[in-house]
């Protein structure tokens, strides 16, 4: 697995964006983008796009919870 900013990339959601890290452009899942990049992405998108990301992330969280029988 690849690391960026000292963090292991898990690619859980499959919602990829390009992010410049150092001198290289990387494909990074939305949840692993920097806060700055996430805000930049969302500020340029319409309501339907943001809603789609939210629904997909909710589905991903539920799938992970089901797979590992997680509860809070």
Selection from 7, 51, 60 nearest residue 32 by Cα: 7
Q: How far apart are CA 27 and CA 36, in angstroms?
A: 16
pLDDT (0 to 100) of residue 7: 83
pLDDT (0 to 100) of residue 69: 96
More confident residue, 6 or 32: 32
Q: What is the pTM of this model?
A: 0.84
- pLDDT, tens only, 13-49: 999 999 888 899 989 999 999 899 999 999 999 999 9
pLDDT (0 to 100) of residue 1: 63
């Amino acid at each position: 697995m690849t690391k960026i900013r000292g963090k292991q990339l898990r690619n859980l959601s499959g919602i990829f964006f390009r992010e410049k890290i150092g001198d290289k452009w990387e494909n990074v899942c939305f949840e692993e983008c920097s806060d700055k990049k996430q805000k930049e992405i969302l500020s340029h998108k319409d309501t339907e796009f943001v809603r789609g990301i939210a629904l997909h992330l909710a589905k991903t969280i539920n799938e992970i919870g089901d797979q590992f029988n997680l509860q809070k």
